[in-house]
Amino acid sequence: MTVGSHPSFTWVDDEAGLGRAIDELLDVEAYALDTEFHRERTYYPRLALLQLAWPGGLVLVDPLALDLKPLAAVLDGPGVAVLHAADQDLEVLARACGTVPAQLFDTQVAAGFVGMSSPSLQSVVDKLLDLPLPKGDRLTDWIRRPLTVDQQRYAASDVEYLLTLHAELTRRLVERGRLEWVRDECELLRTRARWDVEVERAWWRVKEARSLRGKARGIAQEVAAWRERRAAALDLPPRFVLPDLALASIAQRPPATAAELREVRGLDGRYTKGDAIAGLLEAVRRGQELPPDGLRVPPTDELDRRLRPAVTLVSAYVGQLATDLEIDATLLATRGDVHAMLRHEPDARLTTGWRRGLVGDPIARLVDGRAALAFSGHDLVLEDRPA
């Protein structure tokens, strides 16, 4: 059915309707896409709604009534998928459709290259298109059926202007000679494996992890890996399987028996059902026996003390460059990027691609003493120093 006029859209909850949408989408150069999902009480995101728009069409697809695997033909096709802040949507699509778009244009990323800093869709549409977007309820239950007409209209508005925004951003990026930069960034975003958790690294997310020492680290690694696998198998958030407090307590004072395990702080009967006790004790044992070369240690952000003043200098330069170029400073270089370059890491982002000439090479000159920063009265200026 078609509901409303601003925007006009069709609700799709049968295979015939999905097939018609797919047939049209296969012939377009670009299409807009967004998802609504929940994951507060699940390990995997639960897709509740998928919105698609193309010239002449806009549909709301109900994934609770349909298998979305057929949409893989569109995602794998030649059309450019236009999304805003696509990171989590890509994970959702990978699970629901078995693939992600072969070509991606993220309007949030693109907006950063024309002077906006991690903007919301509402702010980009307002600033660049001078069009209002309705404000929705951030706590909407998208799983509930039927969705109200207002909820459907709000969902439709998330894709209504994306293609117009894509065209406007592309025009501005071409004027600035930055379209290829955006394409490179979107490709990195598209191909980054964000949804396959490496379970041996799961302990890095525990708040107390960096303060652990000795065998406690190995125990934390193995217990967190057990928690991650069990959470995935049960489709529950990891904290529902074992709280961080209990994990840290187990790592610091490893229990050897079921009775000792039940005394662990933060651990009650909710977390010790079924084979949980046996699994936890086995994980503790593996952690205690973990060889040093089996430990996955979080990457350090430490830097040679002699180079710390350089970070302050470089940060000032990056901030000035971002202002001069009207680019979000975090797109040019994060603090982590600067540290990675100063540590001469082989995969440092500032030593490859478009960043190398624009940011990396000037930073290298500044740190090596071949250039200096001067204050011109209003701005910082990078000046060559005499040999």
Cα gap 43→36, rounded to integer Å: 16
* First vs last C-alpha separation in the chain: 73
Catalytic residue among 43, 62, 89, 161: 89
3-state SS, 296-355, equals: CCCCCCCCCHHHHHHHHHHHHHHHHHHHHHCCCHHHHCCHHHHHHHHCCCCCCHHHCHHH
Least Cα distance to 232 among 88, 98, 43, 95 occurs for 43
Whether residue 367 contacts residue 377, with contact meaning beta carbons closer than 8 Å, is answered with no
* Residue 89 is among the residues annotated as catalytic for this protein: yes
Counted residue by residue, the chain has a size of 387
SS3 343: coil
* Residue 27 is among the residues annotated as catalytic for this protein: no
* Residue 158 is among the residues annotated as catalytic for this protein: yes
Catalytic residue among 36, 62, 185, 337: 36
* Residue 44 is among the residues annotated as catalytic for this protein: no
Catalytic residue among 91, 158, 222, 328: 158
Cα-based torsion angle of the residue sequence 292, 297, 303, 304 in order, rounded to the nearest 10 degrees: 0
> 323: Cβ–Cβ under 8 A, 6 or more apart, which residues?
379
Max CA pair span of the chain: 73
Whether residue 242 contacts residue 227, with contact meaning beta carbons closer than 8 Å, is answered with yes
Catalytic residue among 43, 62, 106, 154: 154
- The one-letter amino acid at 293: D
Q: Which residues pair with 33 in a beta bridge?
A: 52
* Residue 15 is among the residues annotated as catalytic for this protein: no
Enzyme catalytic residues:
34, 36, 89, 154, 158
